[in-house]
Amino acid sequence: MDNVAANTPCSDDFWTYTLALPHDGRAVRIARAMTRTVLHTYGMPQVSDVAELLASELVTNALRYSDGPSWIRLSNPRTKHVRVGVWDSNPTIPAPFRGALHPPGPPECAERGRGLLLVRECADRWGGYALGEEVFGMCGKLLWFELAA
Ligand SMILES: Nc1ncnc2c1ncn2[C@@H]1O[C@H](COP(=O)(O)OP(=O)(O)OP(=O)(O)O)[C@@H](O)[C@H]1O
Ligand SMILES: [Mg+2]
């Protein structure tokens, strides 16, 4: 096993991990654990807490606002950066993630409506796009954010 690891080319520069999630609340915890493990393994522990928090907001939303499976993908678009994408089958892209420049935040007394606000405030970059059905038969949309370590 050690020999295999030693002989495997180093892929620190570009990597991608994707986890398919069932429509099950326990998937949030598993997505968080994956995020933590990947970031610690690839030398970015300093962004792990924030990445976990924001990933769990997006995965919770995927479960709450779609009725099918979803997935989470971690990749590094540039050295010492992580991009987290969460796909779900609901085609609606929430307002802030479809280009509204200054979407209103929730009223002060609101009990909900802060998850995406957290993502916008804490991530270095964020966005969303629709996935057409022509791509591997998938539809829905992907919301993403990036953090620099
Ligand atoms: N994946 C999604 N698909 C469709 N609509 C979404 C999705 N995520 C969020 N939304 C919409 O955006 C709104 C804001 O989401 P946000 O996560 O900020 O708040 P929330 O989920 O209502 O509450 P919480 O503060 O518990 O996260 C939601 O109420 C929902 O209408
Ligand atoms: Mg939410």
* Residue 3, in any domain of the structure: no
Taking the C-alpha atoms of residue 87 and residue 140, their distance in angstroms, rounded to an integer, is 7
**Does residue 69's CB lie within 6 angstroms of at least one atom of ligand 1?**
no
* Residue 31, in any domain of the structure: yes
* Residue 6, in any domain of the structure: no
Position in ligand 1 atom list of the atom nearest CA 66: 3
Domain that holds residue 52: 15-101+112-148
* Residue 81, in any domain of the structure: yes
* Residue 66, in any domain of the structure: yes
User: 87-121 pLDDT, tens per residue?
Assistant: 999 999 998 898 766 667 777 888 888 999 999 99
Give the full edge-to-edge strand order of the sheet including 125-130: 16-21, 70-75, 81-88, 141-148, 125-130
* Residue 2, in any domain of the structure: no
Task: State the pLDDT at residue 11.
Answer: 57
* Residue 88, in any domain of the structure: yes
> What's the 3-state SS for the chain?
CHHHHHHCCCCCCCCEEEEEECCCCHHHHHHHHHHHHHHHHCCCHHHHHHHHHHHHHHHHHHHHHCCCCEEEEEECCCCCEEEEEEEECCCCCCHHHHCCCCCCCCCCCCCCCCHHHHHHHHCCEEEEEECCCCCCCCCCEEEEEEEEC
* Residue 79, in any domain of the structure: yes
Residue nearest to atom 30 of ligand 1 (CA): 94
pLDDT, one tens digit for every residue, the chain (149 residues): 455 554 454 555 789 999 999 999 999 999 999 999 999 999 999 999 999 999 999 999 999 999 999 999 999 999 999 999 999 999 999 988 987 666 677 778 888 889 999 999 999 999 999 987 655 667 899 999 999 99
**Does residue 59's CB lie within 6 angstroms of at least one atom of ligand 1?**
no
Task: State the pLDDT at residue 105.
Answer: 74
CATH code at position 44: 3.30.565.10
Domain count, the chain: 1
Residue nearest to atom 17 of ligand 1 (CA): 115
